[in-house]
Amino acid sequence: MSIPANPITRRLALPGWSVLRFSLTLVAGALLAAAIVTGVLVVFWIGIPVAVFVLLAIRVWANTQRRVIGEQLGVHIPAPYRPRSKGRFDQQALWLIREAATWRDFAWLAIDATLGFLVNLLYLGVFGIAVYYLVQPLLLATVFHAAPSPFVNDFGFYEFDSPAKTLMLVPFALACGVAWWRWGELLLRWYAHLGVLLLGPTAKALLTERVSELRQARDQTAGHAAAELRRIERDLHDGAQARIAALSLTLGMAEELLSQNRPGQAAALVGEARQACSDALEEIRQLVRGIHPPVLADRGFTGALQAMALDHPLPVSVVDRLVDKLPAPLEAAAYFATNEVLTNITKHAEATQVQVVVNREQDQVVIEVRDDGVGGASFSAGGGLDGVRRRLAAFDGTVNVDSPEGGPTVVTMTIPAAAVAPGGAHNAARSNPG
């Protein structure tokens, strides 16, 4: 559930969200009281497991706040916690207390139990007053016309106890309604942004996480490069090198036959050697194509996509709206990633048609591969999509998969456009059904 995008429906939905936030402030008050009591009990042994329980309960409450505030603002607030420590209660309590995110949660707990209570009470109070005094004259004139009035409007200086008298309060209700409509959402959004500052990860935590991701991507890229080098060495040794060695032996036998004045048999061996040479050249070409396809160097990313579509066993349409030339390493990564996704579709999707859309969205290059197959695609260790994710991680790219059971499947590969060199050869937008 999220806040509607339409301004009118969003404002009408906000009272419900405020009720939810108000209930969370009541929970915050209870947790704050429990935390204070636990701080007194922690000097005794019984207070240690209670402290662990209370701190974990505060984390559950904070995660709920992150989800609610994130849905209200339309943002994602990641949990800033490190992996939980295992061990005795005292070790877990010490680990929780030492983590900075725990104290930020506690700070937001104290703020939400006090300021949050007042903010949501003010918002709901103004909304309630506007509704109450707008409908009161109608209720007194209809439903409660013959019955004793259940409404008490004694302001001390005057008692509004009849429909005519309560009409005098309508301007006050309208003023509250205008104030709620004009400033109520701003008040709630201001308070929600305050929550993002405390509940979200700090700049240091984000930097640490980013360094860890880059280190992991570097290690994966280095491992992938080492595996590729081993594959190339194996293919050369078992393929082209063996053929060239056999070719050398065949030519040696032909030379010996010529020295024995047996030209017919020597000519046959020379013919075999020629065929073996052609086979070795073809293997080397295939090997080079796996390292860097010549079509990328000759025709660029657009031409390579078109060639890939023509060679695919399924009908593949390519829509390329990218107007900048990609640098060679990034171009190769995008080519092989797209090729791997198309290979996965051939093996597992049971699709009848595929569409590849390449676009530029502000500072990103986005490649979408869509198929009408059976769906159910997901990341699995060592699988094709996992390999695509690891390949693009070296360029700070991401892969998202939307593949419900029954299809269709959309694989979206996003690469930062900072890696795109502007002013290169233009890739014309086109569609080419394969």
The string of pLDDT tens digits covering residues 15-67 is: 888 898 899 999 999 999 988 888 777 767 777 788 888 888 999 999 999 98
Q: Distance (Å, rounded) from C-alpha 37 to C-alpha 133? A: 43
Could you tell me the residue ranges of all domains in the chain?
7-199, 207-291, 295-419
Residue 426 CB partners (closer than 8 Å, separation 6+) = 323, 324, 325
Q: 421 has which bridge partners?
A: 325
**Which is it for strands 354-361 and 316-320: parallel, antiparallel or unpaired?**
parallel
| pLDDT tier at 89, thresholds 50, 70, 90 | low
Look at phi and psi of residue 301 and say left if phi exceeds 0, alpha if psi is from -120 to 50, else beta: alpha
Residue 283 CB partners (closer than 8 Å, separation 6+) = 235, 239, 240, 243
Token pair of 316 as six digits? 């593949």
Token pair of 108 as six digits? 């937001």
Summarize the confidence of residues 262-279 as an average pLDDT.
78
Residue pLDDT, tens place only, 213-232: 667 766 666 666 666 667 66
Predicted confidence at residue 376, as pLDDT, reads 81
Options 1.20.140.150, 2.30.30.60, 3.30.565.10, 3.10.50.30; which CATH number does 295-419 get? Answer: 3.30.565.10
**Which is it for strands 364-371 and 398-402: parallel, antiparallel or unpaired?**
unpaired
Length of the chain measured in residues: 434
| pLDDT tier at 298, thresholds 50, 70, 90 | confident
Q: Which of 69-83, 112-126, 304-318, 352-366 has the highest mean pLDDT?
A: 112-126
Q: Distance (Å, rounded) from C-alpha 427 to C-alpha 321? A: 7
Instruction: Examine residue 315 and say whether the peptide bond preceding it is cis (omega within 30 degrees of 0).
Output: no
Please give the order of strands across the beta sheet that includes 354-361: 316-320, 354-361, 364-371, 409-416, 398-402
What is the CB-side half-sphere exposure of residue 63 using CA atoms within 13 A? 9
Predicted confidence at residue 96, as pLDDT, reads 77
Residue pLDDT, tens place only, 134-181: 887 777 666 555 555 555 555 544 555 566 666 777 888 889 889 988
Q: Distance (Å, rounded) from C-alpha 149 to C-alpha 135? A: 14
CB 430 within 8 A of CB 338: no
Predicted confidence at residue 27, as pLDDT, reads 93
* pLDDT beyond 60 at 356: yes
Predicted confidence at residue 113, as pLDDT, reads 92
CB 411 within 8 A of CB 368: yes
* pLDDT beyond 80 at 417: no
